[in-house]
Amino acid sequence: MRVSGSSEPWRCKLEYVAKTTRVVLTCDLHGDGTEAVTTIRLDNGTVRYELDLCQTHLGELTGAGRRLRPRRRTGGAGSATKAANKTAAVKTRRRGGGALDTAAVREWALGHGFTVSDRGRIPRRIMEAFTASE
């Protein structure tokens, strides 16, 4: 008499089995198995790094950024204005206390046949002629 099915139980057909995979991220900066809470990606243009960090190391890295942030100066219109004011102050200091009265220079230049505008910079040749005549 023959039994239906396989006579060897270890050679039975496998049915579908449920499978669960658990991925556990550990902190890259700890030597033990401390669980990571986030992944930070760093890129310097040629190489890309990913760091899995625990809460402690994440706090250290973001805390360092917070300490530096108030001291950091950003560019923009305000910085350009400050730079222009600084340059103007340096030019004023170079002239010294004996700065020439531009209205007097313009009046002298018109009286001596030079062409000069009512506003703006006075050409160097006119300034040199004026100082030489004094």
pTM greater than 0.75 (yes/no): no
Using CA atoms, how far apart are residues 56 and 91, in angstroms rounded to an integer? 52
- 46 is written with which tokens? 């040629």
Q: Is 27 buried (19+), middle (13-18) or exposed (0-12) by CB count in 10 A?
A: buried
Q: Which SS3 state, helix, strand or coil, does residue 102 take?
A: helix
- Spell 106-115 as b/e; 16+ CB within 10 A means b: bebbeeeebe
What is the Cα gyration radius of the chain? 40
Domains in the chain (CATH in brackets) are 18-70 (3.30.60.230), 98-134 (4.10.320)
Which residue type is seen at 106? R
Longest dimension (CA), the chain: 138
Q: What is the pLDDT of residues 15-56, one digit of tens each?
A: 677 888 888 889 888 778 888 888 888 888 888 888 888 888
Containing 52, the helix (H) or strand (E) segment is strand 48-53
Choice among 1-10, 41-50, 125-134 with the minimum mean pLDDT? 1-10
Note the pLDDT of residue 24. 86
Per-residue pLDDT reduced to its tens digit, 53-112: 888 888 887 776 565 555 555 555 555 556 665 655 555 444 545 577 888 899 999 999
pLDDT for 1: 46
